[in-house]
Amino acid sequence: MSEALSWAGKTVLVTGASSGIGREVAVTFAARGATVFVVARRAEPLKLLIEDLGGDPHAAFVCDISDLAQVRDLAELVAERAGHLDVLVNNAGVRSAGPLSMATSEGMEQVIRTNLLGPIYCTRELLPLLRAAPVGRRTPAVVTVASIAGRIAIPRSADYTASKFGVVGLTEALWHDLPAVGIRVMMINPGPVDTEGFPMTRVKAIPGLAWAVMDPPRVARALVRGIERGAYEVRVQWWFHPVYSATVLAGPARRRIAARLAREIPLDF
């Protein structure tokens, strides 16, 4: 059995850490001994999170990752504070602006900027800090929180689905690029997760679907374990594997299945 990965002395940056999956990822890493930098647009939740983590050496940075100038400022602040990063967790994301026929152009653009351009900006601007990290057994690493929606399109969410398909493509491209400079790359594709930004109240009210909804700690644990075991892709729920394979094999029949699901599955917008 291989030696367990020690997080003591390692520095992790988590975007979208004010609530949900990001917050739980930060808590999980801190509990394992890592120094955690948390990033989000809202200052007050970050302040409370740092208090929960025990304060220094953990730190919070207010940043809208959809804004390249802010991400560049973030990279400078992190460089001044730590000098390197062992793990970057690209988690920040926003929900769909709604069905294509109803969503505003501005709303859809914000989804794409946050969910897709945000991880691109963060990875690119923080790359020098990752390259400056000591090379360990599983680090440095870039982790992107994608979604089952990045493999299987979900109804009435064209912008969100497009952004997550893009994140999957980004990660698969980075699989080729970053290992050459000593940086590992992993993505995690959770299914429905009940969070502040993505409430699953209506889904959980349906007996046949409630079982599929996860809580953020489960995803956070899966993410950290994925890094520790050297995974390239983590799907969290076992049933996703056969469902994804079945959709690929279904071919043109996927359109009829999708139309049926669009009528059956509630989405909270």
Six token digits for residue 214: 């996860």
Three-class DSSP category at 3 = coil
Q: Which of 121, 160, 232, 244 is catalytic?
A: 160
CB 40 within 8 A of CB 92: yes
Query: Per the structure block, which two tokens stand in for 207?
Result: 């007996």
Q: How far apart are CA 198 and CA 158, in angstroms?
A: 16
> Is residue 145 within 8 Å of 187, Cβ to Cβ?
yes
Longest dimension (CA), the chain: 55
Instruction: Give the type of residue at 174.
Output: L
My answer on whether omega of the bond before 57 falls inside 30° of 0, hence cis, is yes
Q: Report CA Rg, the chain.
A: 18
Residue spans of beta strands (DSSP E) within 100-199:
141-145, 184-188
Residue 121 falls in the annotated catalytic set: no
Burial of 27 (0-12, 13-18, 19+ CB in 10 A): buried
Residues with a catalytic annotation lie at 160
